[in-house]
Amino acid sequence: MERVHPSLADLLERAHVVALPLNTRFRGVTEREAVLFAGTEAWSEFSPFLEYAPAEASAWLAAAIEYGFDASLERLDSGTVEVNATVPAVTADAVPQVLARYDGCRVAKVKVAERGQMLADDLARLEAVRDALPTARLRIDANAGWSVPEAVTALRAMTAAGFEFEYVEQPVASVTELAEVRRAVPGVRIAADESVRKAADPLAVARAGAADHVIVKAQPLGGVRRAAEVVAASGLSATVSSALDTSVGIVMGAQLAARLPQPRYAAGLATVSLFAADVVREPRVAVQGQVSLAPAVPDAALLREFAASDACQNWWFERIRACFEHLSTLGAAYSPE
């Protein structure tokens, strides 16, 4: 496949490393580090989680290169995609105030199976969501928090209580267990999220009969085009989500969501509200349940204000080098200069 290839020097020259404060602790950190490239075609984002080795993180770099530099990639300049509200594992009485943060969302994802809580807590939270948004479509996300018997018990109880879900996200940890749960509760659609980290994973999930649906992110799957191809090859429906991206990465995700076939599932891209600051003046939060596809252009003053320390910047530059070299081993198009 034809690929674009800015030189490593060009990439580094166009890179802005930022550390943005979060409202909530995420993966043990209170700041999200990200690299934003002033690409020739668009701004793009490179923000693999800190612990990922180059082999894995290089897919994220390929995504940033494609979005920033590939003139043949179709990017929609206008329009919106639908996004979902997310309700963390809060007590039922806190649900209305969580939902108030999401303007006009008609789909709510509710976290369940939180450690230290009971099935009754999940049911109460779901009731509170149904009370607040009686017409909303619901999905739940267990983040692999259940065993197979726990998942089956919980899903039967929820069904008995009248809840219908678009899908149930990662009820259990492994692909084998997902397949077991899926067989045990026919009629409940199962989605794989944590089981999808690399481009090969959606196909493996489909082959194992482990899920009806996959959660995908543009960066880890190697870019907008590749992620759309992977979803199509899996034969499963998909929801696009964020890896806690800045507004620049959110637009990359929104472009992927806009490419997926109908019926589209509201994307998990309303995550910018978890940031206390962003790189654009008008962060891509949900407006009337939608996120805009328009280009996200960082503000120079914000890039300066939230610029990472020199040590942090050097670490990211080394990481870009390592990932770039890894990509160069995969195809001549990425030959480092």
Given the rule CB under 5 A, which residues bind Mg ion? 141, 169, 193
Residue 111 a catalytic site member: yes
> What's the closest the beta carbon of residue 265 comes to Mg ion, in angstroms?
13
Rounded distance between C-alpha atoms, residue 247 and residue 45, angstroms: 9
> Of these residues, 32, 111, 226, 326, which one is catalytic?
111
**Identity of the residue, 169 or 278, whose beta carbon is nearer to Mg ion in the bound complex:** 169
Contact 11, 320 (CB under 8 A): yes
The radius of gyration computed from the CA coordinates of the chain, to the nearest angstrom, equals 20
Burial of 61 (0-12, 13-18, 19+ CB in 10 A): buried
Give, as one character, the DSSP assignment of residue 94: G
**Identity of the residue, 65 or 140, whose beta carbon is nearer to Mg ion in the bound complex:** 140
The strand pairing partners of 214, in sequence order, are 192, 238
Binding residues: 141, 169, 193
**Identity of the residue, 17 or 269, whose beta carbon is nearer to Mg ion in the bound complex:** 269
> What's the closest the beta carbon of residue 193 comes to Mg ion, in angstroms?
4
> What's the closest the beta carbon of residue 105 comes to Mg ion, in angstroms?
17
Residue 198 a catalytic site member: no
**Identity of the residue, 66 or 166, whose beta carbon is nearer to Mg ion in the bound complex:** 166
Peptide bond into 96 cis (omega under 30): no
In the bound state, the residue with its beta carbon closest to Mg ion is 193
> Of these residues, 217, 226, 284, 319, which one is catalytic?
217
> What's the closest the beta carbon of residue 196 comes to Mg ion, in angstroms?
10
Binding residues for Mg(2+): 141, 169, 193
Rounded distance between C-alpha atoms, residue 58 and residue 3, angstroms: 15
Q: Please give the structure tokens belonging to residue 315.
A: 């670490």
CA 112 to chain centre: 18
Rounded distance between C-alpha atoms, residue 154 and residue 142, angstroms: 11
Rounded distance between C-alpha atoms, residue 42 and residue 69, angstroms: 7
Catalytic positions are 111, 217
